[in-house]
Amino acid sequence: MTTHCLIRLATDADRPQIRELLRSAFGQEDEADLVDDIVNSIGYLPDLEVVADDGGVVVGHVMLTRAQIEEALPGMMMRNIPAVALAPLAVHPSRQNSGLGSELVREVLDRARILGERIALVLGHPEFYPRFGFHEALSYGIMPPHEVRSDAWMVAELAPGGLTEVRGTARFAAPFNNPKYW
């Protein structure tokens, strides 16, 4: 279904509208606070924050942030494999179920691929994300950063071989460590 929106990178001028959108989509302030915290953290990836713009009105938003998969090696050594984490994703309630959420996810994952990212992680609706190439992460030996519903914890390979010999525990950008946002 066509959405007639411009899908583009978020700018600082969009911040108030992004806050309002997140408040409407989630029915609370937490996700809006989370995005503000992310934007001020070192995990923020400005090239991977995307909005759906309908004639100057922000009706959708998604972002990927820096994550790592931390693998314990013999001899107390650690290997950190870079990944991106998808969260949050929001479409204004008046525009849901018209394909916009899917368009935003595809766009931000395409941008990540172009930038050379190889692995994407998400904690989200298990009925929604498999259509974009996400699979249960536990079956790949990739553990979540904290206890979660196992079918909601998913991983996608963004480049061929991106998940080969990758296992370990995911670490998200610092704002996600605040239990308020789990």
Ligand X SMILES: CC(C)(COP(=O)(O)OP(=O)(O)OC[C@H]1O[C@@H](n2cnc3c(N)ncnc32)[C@H](O)[C@@H]1OP(=O)(O)O)[C@@H](O)C(=O)NCCC(=O)NCCS
In angstroms, what is the minimal distance from the CB of 36 to ligand X? Answer: 17
Binder to ligand X among 4, 97, 147, 161 (CB under 6 A)? 97
Binding status of residue 32 toward ligand X by CB under 6 A: no
Asked if 121 and 154 touch (Cβ cutoff 8 Å), the reply is: yes
Residue reference for tokens 């950063």? 145
Binder to ligand X among 9, 15, 20, 26 (CB under 6 A)? 26
Binding status of residue 94 toward ligand X by CB under 6 A: no
- The interface mask with ligand X, positions 126-155, x = CB under 6 A, is -xx---------------------------
Binding status of residue 98 toward ligand X by CB under 6 A: yes
Query: Which is nearest to 14 in space by CA: 64, 85, 62?
Result: 62
Q: Looking at beta carbons only, is 31 or 117 nearer to ligand X?
A: 31
Whole-number Cα distances in Å, 1 to 36, 53, 59, 132: 31, 16, 16, 17
Binding status of residue 125 toward ligand X by CB under 6 A: yes
Q: Looking at beta carbons only, is 53 or 70 nearer to ligand X?
A: 53
CA torsion, ordered 24, 29, 32, 35, to nearest 10 deg: -150
What is the spatial distance between Cα 124 and Cα 87, in angstroms, rounded to a whole number? 8
* Binding range to ligand X, per CB under 6 A, among 5-13, 39-47, 74-82, 99-107: 99-107
- 158: left (phi > 0), else alpha (psi -120 to 50), else beta? alpha
For residue 4, give the 3-state DSSP assignment. coil
- Work out the angle between the directed axes of helices 15-26 and 30-39 (0-180°, nearest 10): 150
Binding status of residue 67 toward ligand X by CB under 6 A: no
In angstroms, what is the minimal distance from the CB of 60 to ligand X? Answer: 7
Chain residues that interact with ligand X, rule: CB under 6 A:
25-26, 88-91, 96-102, 124-125, 127-128
